Structure 1
Amino acid sequence: MITPKYEWKKQDLPEKENIDEIATELGLSPLVTEILVARGQDTVAKIKRFLEPTSESFYDPYQLFDMQRAIERIQDAIVNEEHITVYGDYDVDGLTSTAIMYEALLQLGADVDYYIPDRFQDGYGPNKAVYARLLEQGTELLVTVDNGVAGLEAITYAKEQGLDVIVTDHHELPAQLPPAYAVIHPRHPKGDYPFADLSGAGVAFKMAQAMLEEIPEDFLDLAALGTIADLVSLTDENRALAKFGLVALENTLRPGLLALYELAGLNEKEITEQTVGFTLAPRLNAIGRMQHAQIGVELLTTLDEERAQELAKKAQALNAKRQEIVEKITTEALAKVAKAPGHLVDVVAGTDWHEGVLGIVASRLVEKTGRPAVVLNLANGEAKGSGRSVEAFHLFDALDGHREFLESFGGHHMACGVTVLQTNIEKLQQILDTEAKHQKLDQAKVQALAIVSSLSLSEVDLNLLDELAKLAPFGTGNELPLFEINDHQVVSAKAIGKNNDHLRLELKNGATEITALAFGVKEELPELLQAPADIQFVASLAKNEWRGQVKPQLLIKDLSLAEKHAKVVIERKVKLTQEMFLRPVTYGFFNPQLAQKLRPHLPALAQCLVFDKNLTTTDLDELVLVDLPANLTQLEFVLKRVRPKTMRVHFYTKKQEVLLPTRAEFGKVYKLMQRYQKITFPADLAALAKTCALEDDQALLILKVFFEAGFVTINKGILSFNASAKAHRLEDTPSYQSQRAKQQVVATLLKSDEETLKHWLSARS
């Protein structure tokens, strides 16, 4: 049995009242409009602003508190030829923030350089020792980017030494701000900036906008890199930065980025947020993870193509090395976790584990286990590393009250950096397990996964993909839409990838054939390949371009493979009685009108479940199938979604027989219509049926089939024979197919013996 990693939760879509009206006015599909409205874009004006940002989407930078003061100080420094140092950070947001600020100051003629802290020597953020060195080297004004608000000690020292510091940052605000000359922060307690979620690169961009007195389009590529890579909310001003910035990335002239594109095999005209998140950002991050990140800024800012190639190759090589090290440590860490089960939080430590990648390894452990993890490297009597958490466990709060056992510590809800003595590792494990119980982590539900709606495989096409693409770029606050995919047959399933750790499913529904991919499922592959038809999954939609052909494909986000334990009890009914509805179980209905009629007569603790296309995966103790489905496909869909321990089937219907007219009977009615040319409908229906020796409903079905085939027309109650109608297969008409489906339902569910029916239901549940 493979259970989902997440709780599949259907998004609460808005009422349909205004959806069609908004969709029509904007030329959008109802589905995309529903998604937008559910995400707060609930008017035509809001949707227009969201879908098509303009220059007006960028707020006045002087709305940021202290901006005027900061700009005036920088202008004084330039006029007085003071030496300015931009003090950045070693991740993508820090590197791009530094590059933006550095280039903006260069454009103004400043005497400026930059400094990126060494992850291993300096740590994160302001550093008193580094500030002292910069002072010795002649720095007269320090501008921090993507850091600084937590640098109380270092900035106090700088002030005492006569060094002005301008802080630009976006991280969590401490209780006491540092005594900087100016603090530029979108959530400054004395400020009132309209958008609080700028990245470090976004704040640097606003500074550049103020310094250059225009929207600095030359920096949009860098701002998009930092904004997308830092996983800040891609709404409001960040959406404008990302949307315009992605266009800028497609047209960038930066030699360093172009060299990275080439080495990564990217088409520069097809850069998306996925490209940034999964291809460009890891390469830039690898620089600071594996060595000093100073060359990262040089890569982004150099105009020397030869140097750009050299630096890009270095980034590429460091990323490959980083991937190799991450895989090795993750394997070792998982083995250690397996040997020490029973913890609510996993603490693992190893020798010679590269400290630059331990945050990634911790994230991998969380993905695999669903539990928070702290991963530590052992060296010189200390254990130093990183932690990653889940939504239900506040990692910072868990450790903040135990600093006496920690050599160093910092972080937030979902992540931390920590150093302890090796002798205190066991104590750290005890603290985290105890705090996890206090926070009731053991009672927490798994993280919810928002699902937009259910889709039939046949609904997935390029038109839908083009509609959804209007919502891009996707990210935090504007998540990539996920769908539960139904109504498909698994044609084939196989393991793929260099290490056979991914799954490829070939799916089919009628003429629709689509590939679905699940990545990183190596441990589950044996079970998945044994019963691929029973896989249920949630996926995003994507395009697969290969040899000039573009096809839709599914990227599986989460999946499950349930064991079959349903006990099937056959109790077919020809009429409804009160005794059928006495027990407090779940009663399932295919006919919503019947459900509405019987709902008031169900016991107080009973559940009434109406089967529709939005049915989600549900576990039940007992399910009673009250009535017959319209077709077997409808029933199979329900059996894949609802997983009862006991399934009791009544399959009530008034009609126990469903007949299809023979070809001879179709012929009789055809000849009669050909002879009389016109009949009054429905007044003459009974006479027509009697003449042709048919039941009224059989005659009605034949006339419906003839109408759909074009053999007859109807106008104001007059049914007329159409002599000019083209030949048409009657079996292809909707009414014929619907009747045949009903016939199959009766044959399979009502006429089969109990053992055959039990086997049929069990095989599909």
Structure 2
Amino acid sequence: MVKSKTRWKMEEVNQELALRLQQQLHISLLLAQLLVGRGIETVDAAEKFLGGSVQDFYDPFLLDGMEAAVNRIRQAIDNDESILIYGDYDADGVTSTSIMIHTMRMAGATFQYYIPNRFTEGYGLNEGALVKAAENGFSVVITVDTGISAIKEAELAKEMGLDLIITDHHEPPETIPDAYAVVNPKKPDCPYPFKMLAGAGVAFKFAHALLGELPHHLLEIAAIGTIADLVALVDENRLIAKLGLKALEHSVNPGVKALKKVCGIEGKVSAYHIGFGMGPRINATGRLETADRAVKMFITSDYEDAERYACELDELNKERQELVEAIAAEAEELVLAMSEEERDVLVVAKEGWNEGVIGIVASRLVERFYRPTIVLSINTEQAKAKGSARSIAGFNMYEALTTCADILPHYGGHPMAAGMTLAEANVSELRRRLNELARAWLTADDYIPITKVDAICTLPEANLETIEQLEKMAPFGLGNPSPKILIEGVEIADLRIIGKDENHIKCQFRQDGVTLDGIGFKMADIAAELSPRDEANVVGELAVNEWNNQRKAQFVLKDVTVLGLQVFDWRGTRSKTEKLAALDGEAPTRIVSFRSQGQLQLEQQAQKWRTLQLEPNPEIRQLVLYDLPRSYKELEDALNVHPELERLYCLFGEEPNTLPSLPLREQFKEVYKTVYLHKSLSRKDIPLLAQAKKLTPSAVRFILEVFHDLGFLKKDEQSYQLSQTNEKRDLTESVVYQQQKEALELETELLYSSYQSLRAFLKRFTLQDAGTKEKIYHGF
């Protein structure tokens, strides 16, 4: 048995609606089920979701404050006033700033841009920057991706005669800043029909409004910001992402082309390329230094400059990766050193950790330990700790931090992620309180990750045509994740470990005569848990594997469960000790030895196995047959006392002192004639008799023992003697003969059979009832 690593939660779908969509749109039932599962229940909604064009964009002037903002910028352009674009240092802020710069250029504005330093100024609009703007003669400041919480800063701008225009997408506070104009779809009473635009999306809408037409050439930058900011890829976000990704394939923007090159992106561009290629490189500059060079890359018209900036981003990203790896390793050591009482919520802190990457480290720890996590960087000079939090389903991080507000002078966020600052002296208290809270809020099941399963399909349904239909649901991301598909009752075959670091697996899934290639990234550890021909339920993603201009269906494995007893064929292994050492040490295990108990005990003592047992135990999950049983009864006794058995390992090989076959009746007669002629046979003469009769000494001893068992011979320590009896008896009446016959039959069944036969035999044996036992025992 292999248990799934996550909890599978099946999405319930209205099958009647799915069938209707299938028939009306002429699509596969699987695609129809997925659409309904995502709330797309009508033909019009489905066609818009699967298609989408520029005509589907909403009027930008539906955004409250847009008209006032555009009119003020046009006035500034007409009067040649200086405009300051105030941005942010993450990928969304960088792309928002770049969109606004391109827009101002096209509109003929006089402007400059400014992005605050993460480490010296922190997040958001700050008073110092506004004071400098006023001193340098700017009359209008327009923010992108920030400003919605800048209440004091808006008051200051007003006092200094600065007209502040805020464009943002974050959650607004109860009081909206008193600015010249505030453009935010989440602003109360804003009539805009879509509330979840990224900062880059809001900047794109502003460009549309100011320029009077849709800025097609800015779609690619808007898509990068939208996807990198992890906003829900639905409605207008989906439209920006879909059209922007298409534009990225044929971009003429020098910065975009250079960034694609350092990311190794050619041909079709997907959301994955942005999420794991472009986005991290853009973010790296703001995490380690300033985000200025990322903006310069997007706005330059010189390809050589763009390439230089892109290469610098690439190098910074490598530096960022090394930094994350180092801090994550230190953080993991701190977690492993914690007591059990401190591991319900992980709070780790250390002096000198880079504040720009601790959010990534927190995500890493959640992925590794699946616990709500806070990573804090300590500044000993200020006696403060600044941190980032990531959570799991069921633990509302923002609500949890709110219960600790008395020791958190600054905190904010949402249920799954947050940030905070606190006194260094209160770190231990924060850890204690949050762990206490988790014990009240969470159950043991909450610490097992959840995999949301979108639909079930059979292997024959998972064909190339169906998968190509599913591709129409892309781009995938938050709010529109790549569908997780469950396929039940498949056979896992041709399993092998691949990859430079040997950390991936490749296999084939088989069902009803159909095969499907499978791959599991970073799942090499599960290979040892799977035995050939296991029947499994698998969860993963259907994809197209393109190689040498050929397209094949492929299943990207995410999780697997195998029900019932697994049989592992380790027969004839050279090193039994190595195999035993490779067993899962967490599962209760028993080793059964029928012939080599002493040797096994020596090996167990040498290896110091604490979890392996030699005696029966009803809680045993893994059973190792160390050597061959000599009878069906021995095998039955070994197997049937473990009702919870999940895995059976066959470690036996050719054991010593086993006859290769039963002697023939003629050979029995020849040996008996010799003893009859001489009336006795000395034990020391057995090798000579064996040589004369062309038998092995063990075969002669066996024949003599059978005759003794039948009463034809007597024996003592020195010899066998003829017994005076006239009774006729058949060889099969001898218990010794029958035991050897049974041992040889069992040896043939267990040792020389194919894996498939061995597996079937042992499974049948463990599940046998009174009716099948006679067949297995061949009547004995």
TM-score when scaled to structure 2?
0.69
Amino acid at match of 2:411: F
Task: Indicate conservation of the 8 Å contact 1:436/1:442, yes or no.
Answer: no
Task: Report if aligned partners of 2:491, 2:535 keep a CA contact under 8 Å in 1.
Answer: no
Distance apart, 1:70 and its partner CA: 0.9
Counterpart position of 2:314: 316
Partner of 2:44: 45
Give distance in 1, aligned partners of 2:431 and 2:772: 54
- Alignment correspondent of 2:359: 359
**1:25-61 Cα shifts (integer Å, max 9, x gaps):** 3231122122212322212122112211123311111
The residue aligned with 1:167 is 166
Q: Greater CA deviation, 204-213 or 556-565?
A: 556-565
Q: Identify the residue that residue 555 of structure 1 maps to in structure 2.
A: 556
Aligned-residue offset at 1:419: 2.4
Counterpart in the other structure of 1:247: 246
Contact 2:88–2:124, Cα closer than 8 Å, also in 1 = yes
Aligned partner of 2:277 among 276, 279, 294: 279
SS at match of 1:194: coil
Q: Is the 8 A contact 1:528 1:535 kept in 2?
A: no
- Partners of 2:519 and 2:390 in 1: how far apart? 27
SS at match of 2:356: helix
Provide the rounded CA distance (Å) in 1 between the counterparts of 2:162 and 2:393: 41
Aligned to 1:414: 416
Aligned to 2:73: 74
**Residue 498 of structure 1: how far off its partner (Å):** 4.4
Deviation at 1:305, TM superposition (A): 0.6
Higher radius of gyration, 1 or 2: 2
Cα distance between partner residues in 1 of 2:32 and 2:459: 21
In the superposition, relative to structure 1, how do residues 484 and 130 fare at CA in structure 2: closer, same or farther (>3 Å)?
Answer: same
**Matches of 1:531 and 1:417, distance apart in 2:** 48
Secondary structure, aligned partner of 1:317: helix
CA gap 1:512/1:319 in 2 versus in 1, 3 angstroms: farther
Structure 1 counterpart of 2:557, one-letter code = I
- Kindly indicate whether the alpha-carbon contact (under 8 Å) linking 2:411 and 2:419 is maintained by their aligned counterparts in 1: yes
Q: Equivalents in 2 of 1:329, 1:411: separation in Å? A: 23
- 1: CA distance, partners of 2:521 / 2:440: 35
Residue of structure 1 equivalent to 2:295: 297
Greater shift in the superposed pair: 491-500 or 315-324: 491-500
Unaligned runs of 5+ in 2: 568-642, 647-759, 776-780
Any conservation in 2 of the 1:392–1:441 contact (CA below 8 Å)?
no
CA contact (8 A) 1:493 1:532 kept: no
Work out the CA distance in 2 between the residues paired with 1:122 and 1:6.
Answer: 41
User: Post-superposition shift, 1:513?
Assistant: 4.3
Counterparts of residues 469-484 of structure 1 (less than 5 Å): 469-484=471-486
SS at match of 1:457: coil
Moved more, 401-410 or 357-366: 401-410
* Distance in 1 separating the partners of 2:344 and 2:254: 48
Distance in 1 between residues matched to 2:274 and 2:770, nearest whole Å: 56
Deviation at 1:439, TM superposition (A): 4.0
Matched, 1:427 2:429: yes
Q: 1:757: Cα distance to partner?
A: 7.3
8 Å CA contact retained: 2:148, 2:176: yes
Q: Is the 8 A contact 2:489 2:535 kept in 1?
A: no
The answer (yes or no) to whether the contact 2:249–2:268 under 8 Å persists in 1 is: yes
Which of 364, 383, 386 is matched with 2:385 structurally?
A: 383
CA separation of 1:348 and 1:536: change in aligned 2, threshold 3 A = farther
Tell me, what secondary structure is at the counterpart of 2:268? Answer: coil
Taking the aligned partners of 1:137 and 1:411, their CA distance within structure 2 comes to 34
2:35 matched residue in structure 1? 36
Shift of 1:363: 0.7
Quote how far apart the aligned CAs of 1:23 are.
Answer: 2.3
Equivalent residues in 2 for 1:456-495, closer than 5 Å? 456-495=458-497
Sort the Cα spacing of 1:752 and 1:285 in 2 relative to 1 into closer, same or farther, 3 A.
closer
| Stretch deviating more after TM superposition (419-428 or 363-372) | 419-428
Q: What is the CA RMSD across the aligned residues, in angstroms?
A: 3.1
Gaps of 5+ in 1: 567-643, 648-744, 761-765
Q: How does 1:557-636 map to 2 (within 5 A)?
A: 557-560=558-561
2:538 matched to 1:537? yes
Contact 1:344/1:441 (<8 A) preserved: no
In the alignment, what sits opposite 1:336?
334
Aligned to 1:111: 110
1:455 to partner: Cα distance:
2.9
Return the offset for 1:526: 7.1
SS in 2 for 1:385: strand
Structure 1 residues 283 and 756, CA gap change in structure 2 (3 angstroms): farther
CA contact (8 A) 1:7 1:446 kept: yes
1:398 is paired with a residue whose SS is helix
Relative to 1, partners in 2 of residues 1:430 and 1:229: Cα closer, same or farther, differing over 3 Å?
Answer: same
Q: Deviations over 1:286-328 (max 9, x none)?
A: 1211211111111111111110110110111111222222222
Whether the aligned pair in 2 keeps the contact of 1:393 and 1:441 (CA below 8 Å) is: no
Q: Deviations over 1:563-617 (max 9, x none)?
A: 9699xxxxxxxxxxxxxxxxxxxxxxxxxxxxxxxxxxxxxxxxxxxxxxxxxxx
CA shift, 1:402, in A, is 3.1
> Structure 1 residue 257: deviation in Å?
1.3
Query: In structure 1, how many angstroms separate the alpha carbons of the residues matched to 2:772 and 2:137?
Result: 86
Q: What residue identity is the alignment partner of 1:183?
A: V
Change (3 A) 1:519 1:421: farther
SS of match in other structure, 1:331:
helix
Q: Take 2:170 and 2:124, find their aligned partners in 1: how far apart are those partners?
A: 11
Counterpart of 1:754, as a letter, is D
Please state if 1:15 is matched with 2:15: yes
Give 1:503 deviation, angstroms: 3.5
Query: Are the counterparts in 1 of residues 99 and 200 from structure 2 also a CA contact under 8 Å?
Result: yes
**2-structure distance, mates of 1:163, 1:390:** 43
CA displacement at 1:7 relative to structure 2: 2.2
Inter-CA distance 353–536: structure 2 relative to 1 (3 Å threshold): farther
- Cα offset, 1:472, TM superposition: 1.3
- Out of 766, 769, 772, the position equivalent to 1:754 is 769
Alignment partners' CA distance in 2, 1:240 and 1:58: 8
The letter of the residue matching 2:299 is T
Mapped to 1, the partners of 2:117 and 2:417 lie a distance apart of 20
Which residue of structure 1 lines up, in the alignment, with residue 144 of structure 2?
145
Q: Which SS does the other structure have where 2:277 is aligned?
A: helix
Q: Secondary structure at the match of 1:459?
A: coil
Secondary structure of the equivalent of 2:15? coil
- Tell me which amino acid in the other structure corresponds to 2:323: I
Other structure's SS at 1:142 match: strand
Q: Take 1:537 and 1:236, find their aligned partners in 2: how far apart are those partners?
A: 31
SS at 1:545 equivalent: strand
Residue 441 of structure 1: CA displacement? 6.3
Correspondence list, 1:382-401, <5 A: 382-401=384-403
Q: 1:531 to 1:275 in 2, by over 3 A?
A: same
Conservation of the 8 A alpha-carbon contact between 1:98 and 1:145: yes
Give the CA deviation at 1:274: 1.6
Structure-2 separation of matches of 1:397 and 1:301: 41
2:37–2:454: 8 Å Cα contact kept in structure 1? no
Shift of 1:529: 6.2
Say if 1:462 and 1:565 are closer, same or farther in 2 by CA, change over 3 A. Answer: closer
What is the DSSP-based 3-state SS (H/G/I as helix, E as strand, rest coil) of the residue aligned with 1:117?
coil
